[in-house]
Chain A
């Protein structure tokens, strides 16, 4: 299928000499939720800014729906909504005025019903006449989302949309994002809450030091790189792993008070039953246990560390 966004050999060097992007190649598919992950300063925002027209590329090109973003800026930008990372709002404007302004900037005719629905979906309706400066941080964030949605974009960029937003609101927001996605809007998001990417995204791209080091289907990525760990909290401290248990994926932690077993959840047998039996036979007793799925975060940290 024709990609909705196509980034080819994109590089960006700022006037300071800092190279924010190095020959990035990326294709975003129609209707997907794409999560772009990377540490601070990796180039996520620069990439988004170039696609949205806020920064100029030093090299390479970007096209949206087959149209070059520079030559056909009007047609391209008409499709795109952007929620930037920084909370930048017109403090003295009312919520209603600011969303109407955004819609106007995109050249769309007034649509009070639609804008009303956007505000209601984001639980902002009862604040519509309030000045933005009187709103909490989380509400300001939602105002920015409402502004981005004001012109009914087909592609939505969310740059750290849930930073500084409490759990409840975050869930609401993802509800809105999910509904947009269901309505066919292509969504590209960056987030620091990797579990959100894990929850929301169809595909994941990991960017580090300006280079896109991985683009992968989320399920595939979790399957390939995901591990699970069983931690046993021992009653008696161990100095070393007993001979009977050698050869298993075991490690001691917390000065011998914990025994950590790493296993593959996709494998036919996890080996847990056998392990517990062997432990019983060896007389190793434990008072508690817990298991932990390696999260996207672990995978991410691991990949970025290896990339460095």
Chain B
């Protein structure tokens, strides 16, 4: 293993985060706070408790998950797309590093960044609503697994994209709607039966439900199922990344 190369990529990417601190950290925190003001305080005060949890507290795991999904995807996709776009990818391709090492560097940095972000949002939420974490290990597990799997997913998008538009289109058209419909702001139990059944095909339902369970021990779907869904998604992404590197898809002509 060329650990120095992994570290070089990792620190390079983290430095990028540092340079774009406002955009990277502050803006998600502000937008999350706005969600709290709107959904937690303004609307939430009129919504009754859900299984003994106040609405404001109920949406915290969903909000963190939403940020985690969008930020992991955005960070990792931009991280690998940008060198492709400006041409500095030549150096990665000509360096004595394996594909695994490239992925470790980029995905590791993207995941780290979104985990930090998730924790910051958790802290921010703590100022607005009382939060309890019943299963901290499971919470950390879901946080890490989701960050890693969606960073992998973002990496794939970044390799696939051949323009800034494509970079935006999947997060915008797929991830955001699936997150909103995945129970970030409500329990899917409250949906009419048809929509409830349809929601079960949304993979993000499982992630949010599992993550929420780790906070308040309440879940829309079985927590084992949630874990299996997260693991399945990670495996799928790993498989795709492996294929990308094996074929040189959009990286090597």
| A residues whose Cβ falls under 8 Å from a Cβ of B | 14-15, 52-56, 73-78, 80, 82, 84, 86, 88-93, 97, 100-109, 147
Contacts and interface: CB of A to CB of B under 8 A. Distances in A.
Contact of B95 (A56, A93, A100, A105): A105
8 contacts: A53-B93, A74-B2, A74-B97, A104-B7, A105-B4, A105-B95, A106-B5, A107-B97
B253 A55 contact: yes
A90 to B, nearest CB: 6
Given A88-B86, A97-B15, A74 B253 contact: no
B94 A82 contact: yes
B2 A102 contact: no
B93 A88 contact: no
A105 B253 contact: no
Closest 8 CB pairs between A and B?
A: A104-B8, A88-B87, A77-B96, A107-B2, A105-B95, A52-B94, A74-B96, A78-B96
Given A56-B248, A107-B4, A108-B4, A86 B12 contact: no
Contacts of B3: 107
The main secondary structure of chain B at its interface with chain A is helix
Interface in B57-103: 86-88, 90-98
A101 B8 contact: yes
B46 interface: no
A76 B98 CA distance: 13
Interface residues of B, number: 27
Interface of B: 2-5, 7-9, 11-12, 15-16, 19, 86-88, 90-98, 248, 252-253
B37 to A, nearest CB: 34
Given A14-B253, A15-B253, A108-B4, A82 B12 contact: no
A108 B19 CA distance: 25
B5 A84 contact: no
Contact of B252 (A56, A101, A107, A109): A56
B87 A86 contact: yes
A91 B19 CA distance: 12
B253 to A, nearest CB: 5
A180 B7 CA distance: 29
Contacts of A15: 253
Given A73-B96, A91-B86, A92-B16, 11 more contacts: A52-B93, A74-B96, A75-B96, A77-B96, A84-B90, A86-B87, A92-B19, A93-B12, A97-B12, A104-B11, A107-B97
Contacts of A77: 94-96
Given A89-B88, A91-B86, A104 B4 contact: yes
